[in-house]
Amino acid sequence: MRNCRWNLNLATAAAAVTLSMLVGNVSSFVHPSICSTITRTHMSTGNNKKCNLFGSNDSNDSNDSNESNDNVAQTEDTSREKVMTFAYDMSLEPEYVKPTYPGTGNGLSGDSGEYDVIVIGSGMGGLSCGAISAKYGDKVLVLESHIKCGGSAHTFSRMHNGGKYSFEVGPSIFEGLDRPSLNPLRMIFDLLGEEMPVKTYTGLGYWTPTGYWRFPIGSQSKFETLLMEQAEDGPKAVEEWNALRKRLSTLGGSTTAVSLLNLRQDAGFLATTAGSLPFVLTHPDVFLDLPLTFDSLHKTVDTIVTVPFLRNFIDTMCIFCGFPAKGAMTAHMLYILERFFEESACYSVPIGGTCQLGETLQRGLEKFGGKLQLNAHVDQILVNDGRATGVRLKNGAIVTAKKAVVSNATPFDTVKMLGDLSNLPQACTDWKNELGKLPRHGAIMHLFLAIDATDLDLSHIEDPAHLVVQDWGRSLQDSQNLCSFFIPSLLDHTVCPEGKHVIHVYSSGGEPYEPWEKLTPGSDEYEAYKEERAKVLWEAVERCIPDVRDRLEFSIIGSPLAHEAFIRRDRGTYGMAWAAGKSAPQAGLLGAVLPFPFPNLKTPVDGLLRCGDSCFPGIGTPSAAASGAIAANTMNPVGKHLDMLKEASQNDPMYKFLDPGFLGGIYRPLVEGLTPSPELRVDQTVSTE
Ligand SMILES: Cc1cc2nc3c(=O)[nH]c(=O)nc-3n(C[C@H](O)[C@H](O)[C@H](O)COP(=O)(O)OP(=O)(O)OC[C@H]3O[C@@H](n4cnc5c(N)ncnc54)[C@H](O)[C@@H]3O)c2cc1C
């Protein structure tokens, strides 16, 4: 779903990673081929193509003993305490082919060539990685399978009666894009010197079983008023809310001690994050809380929050990362706790549509000499003598990479681009198998509506973004229980003709894929199933606009098959779903000492990195962008990274903390010779000839 959450406290998580390393876990960032055997965690495997269902990786408690061998069963028992994830045995299906849809391209473009860095995919992670690498001076090529950039954040348009209607296929809620902020995506825009005009709004509408209410962002007092008005026990809710904020305040405070842009995965981090030392020294308790940062938020919430309204609110804030509080990394909530209640906090609507996120990054990429090739599907990552040396495109062209190949595709899609690894160390095969079988979220149902706004009275709502919950007793991951709708045209009049509105309604990422893959698009059965599964989406909008069907210009239902084809993510998954609580497979040594719920962005194949929302710090546009920045930093010497941080710190007073200053200078000579790490050095490159 969406994200404010995304605005999770990425920075806090960053601080925690940093701090954890400062405490001596430097080795956690060493090459995963060394680490992979150390951190192997239990992976669920299943028969044939489906495996564990309920909480297949659930670290937490007991209630996931209810296993089944059918992912679809997750629609049958969706009680609130369940942790829903889906799983497939990818190793048995290496040839799985995505459906293709008109309007997404045939992927046959792209020429041969030689670059320093090839990035596969132009999502927020890929474009951020590409643009920052180009700024570092690398010759960069970003290859995108689709005819549009932006990945999940692209938009599509339809002409209707001579008018153009544009819809986002994915994200809609963004905090911290209107001004210099701690949102890594905004930091990257500023680093690239690119602007993205937005309009702002200050609330999120909630349509719940007990009626409509509004979460007011940017005001602690207004939030307390909401708790007093809506919570079962108002004063207690306020007290518990403040107790939760207090409990997490030290970790939250670390957001301004170090940013995600300071991170890199080698010894150079000692220099780039050295600026956080004063915070660490004045807040020694941050060390005690380190494990908490990556652990499941529910462990803290359960000890403090009892009022149902507040527990529900917290779960909805977390669900943007895919899980409710149970399963969500605590860091996801830290940003919200710290920043969403500051007076300047607000949400943004990019003028021109969500595609502006990608287009802004694309401008940054091209400004520094990088190239984006659309409609260029990568069929295979070429590995030579254990090193990724380039890619083979769907049209057969071979493009070589001197320094690295970075995959912005999901882990499930990435492993399928790697051919036979049998002549490589066992660690590579283990990595491929474990990543391919990681539990993931389900797919998403969409309903795109264009309506006539004549005499439409929307004075009962204030905001374009809304959440709809049918039943608080059911899982918020249940795609028939939680959905969102977004009306960008309330603020952005460029997305449809005057006097009309566009509305994007979408389910949570828990729609099972199996029933869909058995159906043929266009068949009566398929159309009927679309209507059936989209009914809840129609009803959601009808709560706000009762006569929406009478106003219809046109409607489009997007099934998981279409979703998959448009965003090129295996089975249309919302993302990797490793519930926080214990370390993910391939998490590196950090995962051996802390419950680090992400596989490393480094891989056992030299010169192959990953970025995107399956990497730390997770799902959401800010997180995905941050992972791209971390990958770019990791590929470059620490000196260049320090220079970039210094430059970034001068973009705005609030970015001052990015520059580690003289403390960074102390560490620099100690670590300079160790960066980038050996497997990413250009002199390691082997010719593909
Ligand atoms: C419906 C929905 C709503 C959301 N709401 C929000 C929100 O409100 N706020 C928010 O911040 N986040 C939201 N998110 C999450 C956010 O959009 C994603 O986490 C983020 O955009 C993912 O970025 P990424 O870098 O992982 O790449 P992706 O977006 O997954 O992009 C990867 C790219 O790689 C390309 N690719 C894949 N394989 C190949 C190949 N073989 N060759 C070439 N190219 C390839 C794909 O075509 C794609 O363009 C939402 C997501 C969805 C789906």
Quick check: CB of 335 below 6 Å from ligand 1?
Answer: no
Token pair 């499941």 is found at 296
Cβ burial 255-282 (10 Å sphere, 16+ → b, else e): bbbbbbbbbbbbbbbbbbbbbbbebbee
Question: What pLDDT does 176 receive?
Answer: 96
Question: What pLDDT does 52 receive?
Answer: 31
Residue nearest (by alpha carbon) to ligand 1 atom 1: 170
Q: What is the pLDDT of residues 357-366, one digit of tens each?
A: 999 999 999 9
Q: What is the pLDDT of residues 144-184, one digit of tens each?
A: 999 999 999 999 999 999 999 999 999 999 999 999 999 99
Residues 34-39, mean pLDDT to the nearest whole number: 26
Instruction: For residue 24, report the distance from its CA to the centre of ligand 1, in Å.
Output: 34
Phi, psi of 282, deg, nearest 5: -90, -10
Domain coordinates in residue numbering, the chain: 158-195+441-572
Instruction: For residue 370, report the distance from its CA to the centre of ligand 1, in Å.
Output: 21
Instruction: For residue 339, report the distance from its CA to the centre of ligand 1, in Å.
Output: 24
Tokens representing 21?
């390393």
Phi/psi-derived region of residue 63, left when phi > 0, alpha when psi is between -120 and 50, beta in every other case:
alpha
Q: What is the pLDDT of residues 623-653, one digit of tens each?
A: 999 999 999 999 999 999 999 999 999 999 9
pLDDT band at 91 (very low <50, low <70, confident <90, very high): low
d(CA 112, CA 95): 25
Quick check: CB of 123 below 6 Å from ligand 1?
Answer: yes
Residues 675-683, mean pLDDT to the nearest whole number: 89
Token pair 């962008």 is found at 625
Instruction: For residue 566, report the distance from its CA to the centre of ligand 1, in Å.
Output: 10
Choose which CATH entry (3.30.70, 3.30.300, 3.10.20, 3.30.519) describes domain 158-195+441-572. 3.30.519
pLDDT band at 17 (very low <50, low <70, confident <90, very high): low
Instruction: For residue 66, report the distance from its CA to the centre of ligand 1, in Å.
Output: 31
Quick check: CB of 183 below 6 Å from ligand 1?
Answer: no
Quick check: CB of 171 below 6 Å from ligand 1?
Answer: yes
- The pLDDT of residue 28 is above 80: no
Give the ligand 1 atom nearest the CA of 121.
Answer: 34
Among 97-106, 484-493, 506-515, 620-629, the range scoring the smallest mean pLDDT is 97-106
- The pLDDT of residue 463 is above 90: yes
Question: Higher confidence at residue 358 or residue 293?
Answer: 358
State how far the alpha carbon of 659 is from the alpha carbons of 17, 99, 623, 656, in Å: 17, 46, 21, 6
Residues 233-237, mean pLDDT to the nearest whole number: 98
Alpha-carbon radius of gyration of the chain: 23
d(CA 549, CA 449): 9
Q: By three-state DSSP, how is residue 425 classified?
A: coil
- The pLDDT of residue 398 is above 60: yes
Quick check: CB of 414 below 6 Å from ligand 1?
Answer: no
Composition of the chain by helix, strand, coil, percent to 5: 40, 20, 45
d(CA 517, CA 511): 12
Residue nearest (by alpha carbon) to ligand 1 atom 48: 151
Q: Is the pTM of this model over 0.75?
A: yes
Give the ligand 1 atom nearest the CA of 146.
Answer: 47
DSSP per-residue codes, 57-120: T--S-STT----S-GGGGGT--BTT--B-B-B-GGG-TT------TTS--SB----EEEEEEEE
Mean pLDDT of the chain: 88
Q: List the one residue out of 615, 570, 641 whose CA is nearest residue 135.
A: 641
Quick check: CB of 629 below 6 Å from ligand 1?
Answer: no
Q: What is the pLDDT of residues 571-630, one digit of tens each?
A: 999 999 999 999 999 998 888 889 999 999 999 999 999 999 999 999 999 999 999 999
Instruction: Provide the 8-state DSSP code for 427.
Output: H
Q: By three-state DSSP, how is residue 553 classified?
A: strand
Quick check: CB of 416 below 6 Å from ligand 1?
Answer: no
Question: What pLDDT does 427 receive?
Answer: 92
d(CA 1, CA 465): 12
Q: What is the pLDDT of residues 302-319, one digit of tens each?
A: 999 999 999 999 999 999
Q: What is the pLDDT of residues 369-396, one digit of tens each?
A: 999 999 999 999 999 989 999 999 999 9
Q: List the one residue out of 170, 207, 187, 99 whose CA is nearest residue 521.
A: 99
Cα atoms in the 13 Å half-sphere on the side-chain side of 480: 13
Cα atoms in the 13 Å half-sphere on the side-chain side of 274: 20
Q: Strand locations in 351-475, DSSP E? A: 371-373, 378-384, 387-393, 398-407, 446-452, 465-469
Side chain identity, residue 221: S
Question: What pLDDT does 36 receive?
Answer: 28
Give the ligand 1 atom nearest the CA of 618.
Answer: 19
Instruction: For residue 170, report the distance from its CA to the centre of ligand 1, in Å.
Output: 8
Instruction: Provide the 8-state DSSP code for 630.
Output: H
Quick check: CB of 446 below 6 Å from ligand 1?
Answer: no
